[in-house]
């Protein structure tokens, strides 16, 4: 399941270890209550194994905290509505992403992500830095030892965003897209502007397929997002996915179009 980003993980692990000690629980007893082996608990506390949301939830059960540690991670590291999707994203064997207006978060450069985050003028500079860092951390799912197959579909309009001082950032972003799209496990497809209206214009969405074959969906909106896991809702999203995928250019033609856009923006 999803790894909790450092340095938050180190802090949470320390607090869980202190709470376990205060409760007089051995690693073995704690592990029984949390659903993990003593060796797993030892590895997490020793920093040689990643802290995951499953472990945090297990710690809350074992220590009977009423969900304290999960709320702590939600308040400091990521909003609560996003945590289930992070779990699904990190453990996925397949990812399907559709974005009609922006570059998908897993494919954003740091500079592009920062510009997007700054659009929310309610966020402080520190909050922007934290969110950008968290987004860059999430992208490690694509560069690990056993990355998922990812297919992303985006609208050509997302490649043509421009504005004062934005050309260089956009050129860098499109170049990064091309680099990622040429990885064997990453497929980026572009819906050309000539397509006109299509089903995806109703909004962005994502789908993650776990090792056991189950799908989970994620919908973004102005207030946050919604994780979708009911059979009917997932089936509806999969149908919408087929719709947007069918409107997109093949992989090589999409890369050629992105290279054309990279040249169009150019450094400014």
Q: What pLDDT digit, counting tens, does each position of 151-168 carry?
A: 999 999 888 877 666 778
Q: Where is mean pLDDT largest: 48-57, 117-126, 168-177? A: 168-177
* 8-76: CATH architecture: Orthogonal Bundle (1.10)
Which DSSP helix (H) or strand (E) runs through 34? helix 27-34
- Distance between CA 155 and CA 251 in Å, rounded? 14
Distance of CA 115 to the CA centre of its chain: 18
- Distance between CA 37 and CA 28 in Å, rounded? 7
Tell me the pLDDT tens digit for each residue of 179-209: 999 999 999 999 998 887 777 778 899 999 9
Helix (H, G, I), strand (E, B) or coil at 174: helix
Query: Residue 220 has which token pair?
Result: 């973004």
Question: Looking at 90-99, 126-135, 165-174, 179-188, which range is the least confident one?
Answer: 126-135
Strand 215-221 relative to strand 149-155: parallel, antiparallel, unpaired? unpaired
Instruction: State pTM to two decimals.
Output: 0.69
Tell me the pLDDT tens digit for each residue of 5-62: 555 677 788 889 989 999 999 999 999 999 999 999 998 888 777 788 789 999 999 9
Domain chopping of the chain, boundaries: 8-76, 83-265
pLDDT, position 268: 45
Domain 83-265 in this protein, CATH class: alpha beta
pLDDT, position 78: 58
Q: What is the DSSP string of 121-157?
A: TTS-HHHHHHHHHHHHHHGGGGTSSSPPEEEEEEEHH
The pLDDT > 90 percentage for the chain reads 46
């Amino acid at each position: 399941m999803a790894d909790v980003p450092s340095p938050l993980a180190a802090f949470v692990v320390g607090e869980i270890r202190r709470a376990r000690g205060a409760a007089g629980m051995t690693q073995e007893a704690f592990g029984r209550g949390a659903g993990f082996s003593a060796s797993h608990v030892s590895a997490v506390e020793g920093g040689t194994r990643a802290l995951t949301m499953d472990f945090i939830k297990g710690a809350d059960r074992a220590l009977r905290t009423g969900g304290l540690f999960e709320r702590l991670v939600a308040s400091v590291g990521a909003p609560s509505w996003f945590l289930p999707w992070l779990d699904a994203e990190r453990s996925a064997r397949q990812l399907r992403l559709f974005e009609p207006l922006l570059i998908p978060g897993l494919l954003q450069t740091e500079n592009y992500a920062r510009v997007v985050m700054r659009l929310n003028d309610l966020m402080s500079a520190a909050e922007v830095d934290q969110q950008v860092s968290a987004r860059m951390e999430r992208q490690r799912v694509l560069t690990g030892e056993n990355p998922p197959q990812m297919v992303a579909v985006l609208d050509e309009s997302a490649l043509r965003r421009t504005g004062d001082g934005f050309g260089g950032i956009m050129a860098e972003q499109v170049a990064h897209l091309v680099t990622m799209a040429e990885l064997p496990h990453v497929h980026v497809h572009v819906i050309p502007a000539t397509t006109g209206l299509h089903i995806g214009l109703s909004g962005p969405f994502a789908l993650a397929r776990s090792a056991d074959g189950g799908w989970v969906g994620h919908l973004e909106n102005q207030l946050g997002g919604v994780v979708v896991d009911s059979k009917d809702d997932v089936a509806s999203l999969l149908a919408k996915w087929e719709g947007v995928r069918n409107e997109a250019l093949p992989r090589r033609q999409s890369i050629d179009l992105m290279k054309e856009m990279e040249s169009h923006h150019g450094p400014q």
